[in-house]
Amino acid sequence: MTEVITAADERIVVVDIGASGGLQKKWARQPGNIRPVLFEPNPAEADRLRGSMSHIPGALVVERGLSYRAGEFELTLGRHAGCTSLLKADPDVLAGYSIAPLYDSMGTVTVECDRYDTLHSRGEVPVADVIKLDVEGYEYEILLGFGGLLDQCLGVEAETWLTPVYRNTKLLHEIIAYLRQFGLVLRRFEPMNAFDGDLFLGDAYFTINRARAARLDPVRLRKFAILQETWGLQAY
C-alpha cells in the first residue's frame, strides 16, 4: 500500500531552540514551505512569538526548556539577554575582553526542561527536519535529548564554541563527533567576531551526508533541496 503524503507532511519542520528573537528571516520568507516549532520558556515572549507566526498554519510555540533529561534547571541571566545560559560563564576565560561585562550574572531563574524525544513520544511535537540551536554553550546537551530522532533529521544549525567561555561546555569538535554517529556532517562554518578579533565561536551548519541523501524518498529529497538552497550550500 502506498503511503499518502499530506500537504502538511511536505512542509519542513524547523525546530528553533533559543527562539526569543523570532523565526529566522531565511525561514520566515518561505511560510508555505515550513512548519515552525519554537521553544521559549518565558510566557510573555512565547505569546509574542505566537502572534508573529499566526499566519503560518500549524506553527507551534512550546513554553519549555530542553535538555538531556527531564527536571528543573538553573538558568543564569546574563547582563545581556543573549548571554543567558544553563551553564555558568567562566570569568577567567572572559578576562580582558570588552564583551566580558555582558556575561555578568544578574540572577537565576528555574526552568522546567524535557528531552525532545520524550515530548515527541507524548505527541506534543513533530519529528524535526531541521534544528536550529542558539543556547549559549548548551547545544550538546539539547542534541542528546533528541536521541534517535536525529536519524530522521536533515540538518542542524548551531552556534558552537571553539573556546569554553561557559564552564563544562562541549566544543565544536565534540559536536562534530556526536552528529557523525547520525550521518550528519559539517558543511559550513561562519566565524563570529565578538571577542576583539579572537576566534571563539561561530555558526556551524550540518546536513546529512551523501550516503543518507542518496536514500531519501521524493518528499524528503525536496525538503533537503530547499534546506541546501536556504543555507547557501552546494547541492550534492
Q: Report pTM.
A: 0.94
The CATH code that applies to domain 8-64+124-192+199-230 is 3.40.50.150
Q: Average pLDDT of 193-213?
A: 97
Given a cut of 70, is residue 206 above it in pLDDT? Answer: yes
Mean pLDDT value across the chain: 94
Given a cut of 90, is residue 9 above it in pLDDT? Answer: no
Give pLDDT, residue 44: 87
Give pLDDT, residue 146: 98
What's the pLDDT band for 43 if we cut at 50, 70, 90? confident
Closest CA to 121 of 145, 140, 153: 145
> What are the Cα distances from residue 86, in Å, to 14, 34, 89?
23, 29, 10
pLDDT one-digit tens code per residue, 181-193: 999 999 999 999 9
Given a cut of 60, is residue 5 above it in pLDDT? Answer: no
Whether 216 and 195 have beta carbons less than 8 Å apart is answered as no
The share of the chain scoring above pLDDT 70, in percent, equals 97
Given a cut of 50, is residue 70 above it in pLDDT? Answer: yes
What's the pLDDT band for 48 if we cut at 50, 70, 90? very high
Given a cut of 90, is residue 197 above it in pLDDT? Answer: yes
Given a cut of 90, is residue 178 above it in pLDDT? Answer: yes
Give pLDDT, residue 2: 32
Cell of 131: 534544528
What's the residue count for the chain?
A: 236
Cell of 123: 505527541
Give the burial string for 68-101 (b: 16+ CB within 10 Å, else e).
Answer: beeeebebbebeeebbbbbbbbbeebbeebeebe
Give pLDDT, residue 8: 53
Given a cut of 50, is residue 6 above it in pLDDT? Answer: no
Whether 207 and 188 have beta carbons less than 8 Å apart is answered as no
pLDDT one-digit tens code per residue, 108-164: 999 999 999 999 999 999 999 999 999 999 999 999 999 999 999 999 999 999 999
Per-domain residue ranges for the chain? 8-64+124-192+199-230
